[in-house]
Amino acid sequence: MTARAYVAIGANLGDARTAVERAIDALDRLPHTRVVARSSLYRSAPVDAGGPDFINAVVQVETLLKPLAFLAELQRLEADAGRERPYRNAPRTLDLDLLTHGDSVMETPTLTLPHPRMMERAFVLVPLAEIAPDQVAPDRLAAVSQQRIDRL
């Protein structure tokens, strides 16, 4: 059965804009997966981290992949883009966060669905609201309104 999933995309090292665009294309080429909607690109300040500003987007995909298999594909794309994890919240060449996967609710050592911090981050909620306004309540947007985010 096909699941609708949302993926947050971010990068703040190297050519971040190109990395995000390439990631969107790569997501559309994953097996049994297609991108059905994509937000604009946004620039945001790092949250709980240092480094340069991030370029962010959110995509909606339809996939036949189960949540953990989809996560493995996302992590492979990050690795292919040169993602390193020297410490928590380190600057990154590519970050792909699985926000939701159908109606899945789960908590494992490798994946929590829905994403546990997505409602705290303007760089997720603003682009998500652009492509799926039914997924973001107005009060959630108001709660992150002090976080800087600029549509490119």
Say whether 95 is catalytic: yes
Per-chain mean pLDDT for the chain: 94
Helix H or strand E segment including 21: helix 16-28
C-alpha gyration radius of the chain: 14
Instruction: For residue range 10-51, list pLDDT tens digits in order.
Output: 999 999 999 999 999 999 999 999 999 999 999 999 887 778
Say whether 83 is catalytic: yes
Which residues on adjacent β-strands are paired with residue 43?
Answer: 55, 150
Residue among 38, 43, 92, 121 flagged as catalytic: 92
Say whether 148 is catalytic: no
What is the phi/psi pair of residue 106, to 5°?
-155, 155
Cα separation, 51 vs 90, whole angstroms? 8
Cα separation, 74 vs 36, whole angstroms? 17
**Superfamily of the domain at 3-151:** 7,8-Dihydro-6-hydroxymethylpterin-pyrophosphokinase HPPK (3.30.70.560)
Cα separation, 67 vs 97, whole angstroms? 12
Amino acid identity of residue 8, one-letter, is: A
Amino acid identity of residue 15, one-letter, is: D
pLDDT band of residue 87 (cuts 50, 70, 90) is low
pLDDT band of residue 89 (cuts 50, 70, 90) is low
